[in-house]
Structure formats: structure tokens, C-alpha cells
Amino acid sequence: MSTLFTNARLIDPAKDSDALGWVLVADGVIAEVGYDAAPQADEVVDCGGKSLAPGIVDIGVKVCEPGERHKESYKTAGAAAAAGGVTTMVTRPDTLPAIDTPEVLEFVERRANEAAPVNVLPMAALTKGREGREMTEIGFLLDAGAVAFTDCDNVVTDPKVLSRALSYARSCGALVIAHPQEPGLSKGAAATAGKFAALRGLPAVSPMAERMGLDRDMALVEMTGAKYHADQITAERALPALERAKKNGLDVTAGTSIHHLTLNELDVADYRTFFKIKPPLRAEEDRLALIEAVKSGLIDTISSMHTPQDEESKRLPFEEAASGAVGLETLLPAALRLYHNGDLTLPELFRAMALNPAKRLGLESGRLEAGAPADLVLFDADAPFVLDRFKLKSKSKNTPFDGARLQGKVLATYVAGAAVYRRD
């Protein structure tokens, strides 16, 4: 059966184009894309001039199975992803227990395939228990389906352990995703060092901790030749180190979170814990520098860094509250703030949210071209709404955008050409 999406504003990040056209889908893949007379099809979807783009590939989603299913399950995370235009979730291994053996990985894959309507690609831990002492069986985990290896925000402090893991990952062709941070400096920090944190009496960390962590990692990548992706670059001071690594020909990419692109340290205001994330929100100068880095391509990917926390974890004094925010459903409307502000075009946004993440993981998705999977999101970039966190499909409701005025609603999400979400 074939489906024709017609009268659509096609957002093609690979061609950097934004124009009215049509997409023909057959057997779960894109058969043809055009901008003139449309062909015949078994089913026709009139997009009404709204935007049709490749589905978002979100690297770094936390789903709390196994261990903390009360915070998020694959069923609720999958529903949230579909409602947010995310067609592929790349999930983190910071679960209880950590995803560090083929057996746990296979359990996760089975649960995900049963419960989630979108694609789920699991990452595995780089070291056993994410404790930074002994590397996992990278080869076996690759065979079991791991798409990358990361200890998430548990930074491997021993450079010998990390260098061995990077060397072994290189021999297997595996991608290592790391969290650039100097853990000694950042331990216990709840905010970014500066006047605001001092006035609020919050324990703070200098952005240089991120720069120091990235400098160390880049030296080890240069030594080992491994494939490396920085999960979140959030500070302007880290950008020169990233730029040098790329100019030197290292196989390095970097991402940032939508929260660091659209919020700053002042949003914490009077200790609002929904704004407590890791790394902490930065100064406005950092936020603007990150936008420029995304626009230039220095920062490759934008992700939600979806981190569900229950009310009990967040309704605490700011220093004690858990870090993290849910973001699967808010990633696109928050990103559209950058479009409406004139900071980034829609093709530039989807280059960072769909094309580049897919390319880094070796996926065929993230593009509008013949042969690519028909993973698509149809959205109205201009539709205004006020976010009500209690209407989110995630189990946890810890979003910093609660009550915020946003523009951009997902109208439908398609995985392999089949609708997995339609707005009522």
C-alpha cells in the first residue's frame, strides 16, 4: 500500500531546503519526493500546507526500566515520544541495575519492542555498574544490539580505564558517548558559578569544569583514535577545545540539550527545582554561543536529555532535589522558539535533531529521500499553546516549561509509514 503526503511544507535538512512538495511512501520507506505534479497513491494525506520533516532522533533518553518504572516506562516514554515527533529514542543505560550485560540489554530491547510505538535503540554502559573501574564486554553488547557506550553522568575518573575502553571500542568500531566534566570540581554543584548563584547561596561549579573534562577526553581520543560523542556541551569556554579537536581530524561530534539552548541560569529564579538539570543552566552568554555553534555545525546534535523524576525527588530544597527534566514532548515546541526568534531555520533545527544524530549512529533515517525509512513528523510550526504539565504523556511531569507559552504543535507522527500519533 502506498501513501502520498501532499500539499506539505517539506523540511529537508540534507538539502537545507524548506519548500512546498509531496512525499510518496510505500512499504514503510520513502519511495519518492517531489515539488511538481504528484503521482497516484492508494491513500492521500493532505498536509494542508503544514510542515513535514524527518522524525526526530533523540540521543540520551532515560527510560526508567528496569528499576524505577514508577518514574517512566517504555509504554509511557513511547507515547510521549510519538506525541513529540520523536520517531527514534536512543536510550541511556543509567537504570537500576545499569545496562551493562547482554542479558539486561536483551530484556530492555524486548520490553521496548512490546511497549513503545517508536523505534528504540539502547545504549550500554561503558564500565560495569557505571563505576569506572572495569570496562564492559563491549563486543558482546554490540552483538546484542547496543548502538553506543556511555556511563552517562558518571564520569570515568581513571584515565587508564578510559583509555583502555576507548581503545577497545575503536577496535570494535563502537561509538563512545561521554559527559565532559571534571568530577572533582563539579561534585555537589547545583548551579553555575557567578553572581546569581552567590546571591542565592547555591553550591556552584565553574564552566571551566566542562572545558577541563573535554580537554582530557580529547587527549585520550587523540591517543586512541576512538569514535567519540560529547553528550552535552553547555559552556562557551568548552567550544574552542571542540573546534580544535575537529580541525585536528579527530572522529568527534558533540550535542547539547534543548534546555541549555532555550533557558539560562536566571530561570531558576526563587529555587524552582524543575529548572535543576545537569550540567546546571548557564549564563545567557553561554546560551547565545551554543546557538551559534549549532548554526555553524560545531555542535552537531540537539537532544531532549529526557530525565524523569517523581514529585518526591523534586519537591525538596534546591540543593537536595534530583537533577533532570522530561523533554520528549517539549523538544520540538521548545526548539521552535529558536526558529520564531530567527536564530535557526527549520532545516538547521532538523539537521541537529534528526539528520546528524542518525548519521552519527549509522542510521538511514533523518532525511527526506528515496530509500530512507518513512519516519516522519507533521507539525504546525505556528500553533500557539500554553503547556500544562499534567497533560504530558510521560509518567513524570518535571518539565521547566510548565505554564510556558509555546508555538508549534505536532499533528501526526509516522514510523515506517504507519501513524503512531495523531492529534485529536
Q: What would the pLDDT profile of 375-392 be if each residue is shown by its tens digit?
A: 999 999 999 999 999 999
- Does 137 score more than 90 pLDDT? yes
Q: Which three cell numbers stand for residue 38?
A: 504528484
CA–CA distance, 420 with 116 (Å, rounded to integer): 10
Which region, left, alpha or beta, applies to residue 45 given φ > 0 means left and ψ of -120 to 50 means alpha? beta
Burial 219-228 (b: 16+ CB within 10 A, else e): ebbeebebbb
CA–CA distance, 351 with 13 (Å, rounded to integer): 5
Length of the chain: 424
The answer to whether the beta carbons of residues 256 and 234 sit under 8 Å apart is yes
Q: What is the mean pLDDT of residues 110-122?
A: 96
Instruction: Write down the mean pLDDT value for the chain.
Output: 97
Burial 181-214 (b: 16+ CB within 10 A, else e): bbeebbeebbbbbeebbeebebebbbbebbbbbb
- Does 133 score more than 90 pLDDT? yes
Please give the model's pTM, rounded to 2 decimal places. 0.96
| pLDDT tens, residue by residue, 300-312 | 999 999 999 999 9
- Does 40 score more than 90 pLDDT? yes
| pLDDT tens, residue by residue, 160-192 | 999 999 999 999 999 999 999 999 999 999 999
The answer to whether the beta carbons of residues 242 and 215 sit under 8 Å apart is no
Q: What is the mean pLDDT of residues 226-238?
A: 98
The answer to whether the beta carbons of residues 305 and 257 sit under 8 Å apart is yes
Query: Could you tell me the sign of the dihedral formed by the alpha carbons of 221, 222, 225, 227, in that order?
Result: positive
Cis peptide before 13 (omega within 30 of 0): no
Q: Looking at residue 36, what is its pLDDT? A: 93
Q: Looking at residue 166, what is its pLDDT? A: 98
The answer to whether the beta carbons of residues 210 and 263 sit under 8 Å apart is no
The answer to whether the beta carbons of residues 112 and 124 sit under 8 Å apart is no
The answer to whether the beta carbons of residues 147 and 90 sit under 8 Å apart is yes
Q: Looking at residue 165, what is its pLDDT? A: 98
Would you call 60 helix, strand, or coil by DSSP? strand
| pLDDT tens, residue by residue, 264-320 | 999 999 899 999 999 999 999 999 999 999 999 999 999 999 999 999 999 999 999
Q: Looking at residue 119, what is its pLDDT? A: 98
Q: Which three cell numbers stand for residue 314?
A: 523534586
Q: Looking at residue 291, what is its pLDDT? A: 98
Q: Looking at residue 306, what is its pLDDT? A: 98
Say which residue the cell 566542562 belongs to.
210
- Does 54 score more than 90 pLDDT? yes
pLDDT band at 128 (very low <50, low <70, confident <90, very high): very high
Q: Looking at residue 424, what is its pLDDT? A: 82
Q: Looking at residue 356, what is its pLDDT? A: 98
